[in-house]
Structure 1
Amino acid sequence: MEEVRAIYNFACVNCGGEITDARLTRVGVCEKCFTGDSGSLLEIAERLKSSGKIRKLKEYLRIQLEYERFKKFFEKALGFEPWSLQEVWAKRIISGDNFAIVAPTGVGKTVLGLIMALYLYEKHKRCYLITPSSILAQQLYEKALSFAERAGIRKTEDIVVYHAGLTKGEKEEALKKIRELD
């Protein structure tokens, strides 16, 4: 039996109840919620859900499971897993956070944005990517189509680009598609 040095009130990550220092460090949830003694927080959250005892960990579980689906989609589209920063950003997007990504060139901001937009597109959600130039808009559009093909997205005609470099007819067609998708 482990030595109890402290008991924390309101510290169980699931119910907010009492938990010992050792159990908080080792398991994260109190014995009232989960009598087991090991497992990852995700495994414990899944067990809590199946036993009907999940409370505060419900949102954590939703985000983790949705991220795992996104990660598989990302790997299918690109052939490798998201980098750690991309994982953090993806989970923030999945959780519904509104935030700006400020990071150096080359850390994967644009790739994450494109893959997330395609992932959400597959879930019948809509994304707009705004770029500072027509050239960049066209490049991202072409990358999006390429990533979509690798990810197995067959219906790509709803992926639309609109920029100043399009002809009048192309602009009208793009705007028509955008309106029809509303």
Structure 2
Amino acid sequence: MLSNSEKIRKKIFISKYLEMLSKIVGKPVFEKDIGSIADAKRIRAHSQVFEGMYSQKIELNFSIHEADRIKNIFSYLRAVNISSVYLWVENSIDCGLLKIDSLADVNVEYLLGSTDWEIMGLLSEDMKDYLLLEINEYSDGLKFGLDVKGANWSAIDFSSIL
């Protein structure tokens, strides 16, 4: 059962949150599509295992021209771990998590065409792998950062696809 403050936070953020999720997956997302706040808290607690874990970091130009490369990276990640994926963005802990079938469900064109998101986490449902996506600003422009962790995903040799 939600506390009063949790109910208030969800009420404040849910419409903006569902709009953001809809853009990320390229189709309408409704409140019934997301999990409970209790599940989000439980999953977040389990995901702490990735703190301090070895990771591979990749940075690409923040450009729609990188969409195919990112889709290829997502395909490789999907090939080594076929689990569904929990999608974390701002206010996920206030509203609940969206579980998507795969990284292929992420609208890469949206990610590279908008800065209204800044950071996103993608956690495999089996909780073995984690991908952090972020927009980084440097003197030479914006970069799309990927930080790959976990038993399967961090073992990929990305040099063959980059």
TM-score, normalised relative to structure 1: 0.31
By percentage of residues, which structure has more strand?
2
When Rg is computed on C-alpha atoms for both structures, the one with the higher figure is 1
Name whichever structure is richer in helix by fraction.
Answer: 1
